[in-house]
A and B are shown apart, each in its own frame.
Chain A
Amino acid sequence: MNLNLQETLRLIGRGLFLEPDAYDEAAESDNPFVDGLFLVILIGVVIAIAGVIGQAIGWAMTPDLSEIKQIIYDGLLQSPMFGMLQENADAIAQFKESYEQGWRIAEFFSPNITNIFIGLFLRPLGLLIAWLWFALIAHGAAKALGGNGSLQETLGATALALSPALLHVFGVLPTITVAAVGVWILLARYVAVRRVHENLTWGRSLAAVVSPMILSWLLLIVLGVFAAFLMSLFIGGFAS
């Protein structure tokens, strides 16, 4: 198919409105993987640029964090609850440490040059990983459930299913809360899987669509348990 930019943008628009023909077109292109890759990177780059502008505006709207940190600290010193704490030197030291640590975390997430440039690379990369993860798992599940589509078709159609992510361009204004993208993408993915594996019933298509999410949660739980186990070994090792 080898789409040009204008055609790609039109296709993304049709994909955003869940038009089934658009998903057929994306799945049946000459090279669905390459076209899908182009589409995902295009969406990723556009929202990353919007994110950069949004972060810059966000920085301009944010007061100096070190000034806020100092004002709050001075205010806390006046509080009688803090006065009670002052009788205990250990408690004071612990409070100061936690206070500093809390602000370090806040500074990490606040708009700054490093975050702006990290976002520029992480957003397209994140979208790319999300696309491949979903396409591969959902395709495997659809095949296991008897689906008749090919992996290439699934890759092409599910790349288009990321078109609602383009709504994040509204993040150019950091005061806008861009909601609905997750559920919109889920619906688009359902349409994509349904069009590619057209012999599947709606229930099986739905099962294929939710399988990557379920697998992600399971993986997170397993990783969480494993991390907790490692930490307990680590802490236990120090304690003994």
Chain B
Amino acid sequence: MTTASLSSWISLAKDALTLKPEPFQRLASPPASLRSAIAIVVVVGLLIGGVHALVGIPGLVSAPQFNADEFVGQIEESLSMSQMFGGAQTPEEQEAMALILESIRRFAPTIEKLSQVQTPLPGFFVRLLQWLGDWLSRPFARLASWLFISVWIMLFARLLGGQGNLLPYLSASALSTIPHLLHAFDFIPCLGAIIWLVAGVWGLVIQVKAVEITHGLSQGKSILAVALPYLLVFLLAGVLFLLSILLIAFGANA
């Protein structure tokens, strides 16, 4: 890739992030192909994975050691937390809890032994392949989430009267993955949730712009087309949650 084409890609990303219409129009224009869209999503995935891979290099050099005492300590801590939030109340429940904890305590050295079992390939190469796999899986994960949500948004945009075709919309919507570059830094403690929120909302705003431009819908309808798949998921989750509560209540009364 030449410096000129790299800088043109960077300015395209900057324009997309500031919601200028040009990058959307450029990607949606003929020839009809997903080449540029896939390239954007794959590069975003590789960059996110690349940063995580760099952070993971120390773990590559030395094998992570499983510490049975530390493991048991963590379990004990989370169990005492659950007690504070109304965990085991009755003597029977507390007895069962104590039994479970004792079983975990006795089983912890087994986990330590398991972590030391040798593989035919030397440990360093196993860790190297896992490290490489983690990195290279990122573009696939990003592709999957982008394609999955875009298909639903496309469907709702069409149902709301949108006139756009599949390829121009998909090409433009690939720009919505750019804010997810922030996920490269979600290994920083306490930043994960903020990054998740900022990248998610920013991505959705770019999706709205992509729908608006490629489907010729009003801003309100574009927002609706983007929001509807998520609303449906929440609705479905709510219905399932209510159903499970009803089933538990019925079971308790029966």
Q: Which residue numbers of A lie inside 8 Å of B, CB to CB? A: 14, 17-20, 57, 59-64, 67-68, 71-72, 74-76, 78-82, 84, 167, 170, 173-180, 183-184, 186-187, 190-191, 202-203, 206
Contact = CB atoms under 8 A, between A and B. Distances in A.
A186 B38 CA distance: 16
Given A75-B110, A81-B99, A61 B137 contact: no
Given A175-B129, A179-B143, A191 B134 contact: no
A79 B107 contact: yes
Interface string B33-62: 111001000000000000000000000000
A62 B120 CA distance: 7
Nearest to A191: B166
B238 interface: no
Given A170-B136, A173-B129, A67 B151 contact: no
B8 interface: no
Contacts of A191: 166-167
B90 interface: no
Contacts of B160: none
A183 B102 CA distance: 46
A71 B119 contact: no
Could you tell me the dominant secondary structure of chain A's interface residues?
helix
Contact of B166 (A19, A74, A190, A203): A190
Interface string B163-206: 00011001000000000000000000000000000000000000
Contacts of B35: 17
A187 B113 CA distance: 47
Contact of B133 (A167, A176, A179): A176
A22 B89 CA distance: 66
Contacts of B31: 19
Given A175-B129, A176-B137, A80 B102 contact: yes
